[in-house]
């Protein structure tokens, strides 16, 4: 598949004499890719005039998305970094370093923070507020964590999660800070809040 991409960029097959040719091969280089079937070595074509950038595998990518997702899911499920190392070695024959796992999780948390702080672009007439207590497993220990949630219903009747705040208590200060956060993100047009009888919300 990589060779076929190179042929298309050259507008001719390897060693083919053609007046339509716009580039020629300059050998190849090797790179590793971690897949669900284990580690494979790819021969990536090099071109003399153009930079070969494959659409099949992102440039500089070292693992399949499914492998990255598995690593992230293990971490978020509470598996310690040391255990993740052992699991990856058993599954794929390649030990993933703690630094690699840390870098993957930084990418995830950046996306989560961007989502948490995004602008609320449309008017939301109806907003449901509730607090949920979830069990969190981390390094073999299970603890409860409180999460405040706001779900909006727009004018067309579609529901969307507007915001989530982890670790805040369901008291006056917790709900007040959460609502200020939603307002700063341009929450507007609210006609009705729907909640339970939580005293923190009432206050």
What digits encode the pLDDT tens for the residues 128-144? Answer: 999 998 887 766 678 88
Extended beta strands in 116-196, E state: 126-138, 141-153, 159-166, 192-194
Residue 48, class by beta-carbon neighbours within 10 Å (0-12 exposed, 13-18 middle, 19+ buried)? Answer: exposed
Identify the domain boundary among 116, 134, 156.
116
- The alpha-carbon radius of gyration of the chain (Å, integer) is 25
Which pTM does this prediction carry? Answer: 0.58
Domain for residue 157, yes or no? yes
180 with 136, same domain? yes
Domain for residue 56, yes or no? no
Domain for residue 55, yes or no? no
Residue 132 pairs in a beta bridge with: 147
194 with 139, same domain? yes
155 with 107, same domain? no
130 with 174, same domain? yes
Domain for residue 54, yes or no? no
Identify the domain boundary among 98, 116, 134.
116
Q: Under a CB-based contact definition with an 8 Å cutoff, are residues 149 and 161 in contact?
A: yes
What residues make up the domain containing 83?
Answer: 65-116
Domains contained in the chain, number: 3
Domain for residue 41, yes or no? yes
Domain for residue 32, yes or no? yes
Domain for residue 52, yes or no? no
135 with 102, same domain? no
Residues of the chain with pLDDT > 90, as a percent, come to 30
Domain for residue 53, yes or no? no
Per-residue pLDDT reduced to its tens digit, 31-90: 888 776 777 888 999 998 888 877 667 655 666 667 777 777 887 777 877 788 788 777
Residue 166 pairs in a beta bridge with: 147
Q: What is the rounded distance in angstroms from the CA atom of residue 49 to the CA atom of residue 23? A: 6
Phi first, then psi, for residue 128 (nearest 5°) are -95, 130
39 with 69, same domain? no
């Amino acid at each position: 598949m990589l060779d076929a991409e190179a042929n298309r960029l050259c507008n001719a097959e390897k060693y083919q004499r053609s007046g339509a040719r716009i580039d020629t091969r300059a050998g190849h280089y090797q790179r590793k890719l971690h897949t669900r079937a284990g580690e494979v070595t790819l021969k990536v074509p090099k071109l003399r005039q153009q930079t070969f950038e494959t659409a099949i595998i992102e440039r500089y990518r070292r693992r399949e998305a499914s492998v990255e997702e598995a690593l992230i899911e293990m971490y978020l499920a509470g598996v310690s970094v040391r255990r993740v190392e052992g699991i990856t070695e058993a599954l794929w024959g390649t030990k993933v370093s703690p630094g690699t796992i840390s870098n993957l999780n930084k990418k995830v948390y950046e996306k989560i923070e961007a989502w948490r702080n995004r602008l609320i672009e449309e008017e939301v007439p109806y907003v449901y507020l509730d607090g949920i207590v979830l069990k969190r497993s981390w390094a073999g220990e299970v603890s409860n964590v409180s999460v405040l949630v706001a779900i909006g219903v727009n004018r067309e009747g579609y529901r969307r999660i507007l915001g989530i705040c982890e670790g805040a208590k369901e008291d006056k200060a917790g709900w007040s800070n959460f609502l200020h956060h939603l307002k700063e993100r341009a929450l507007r047009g609210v006609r009705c809040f729907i909640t339970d009888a939580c005293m923190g919300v009432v206050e």
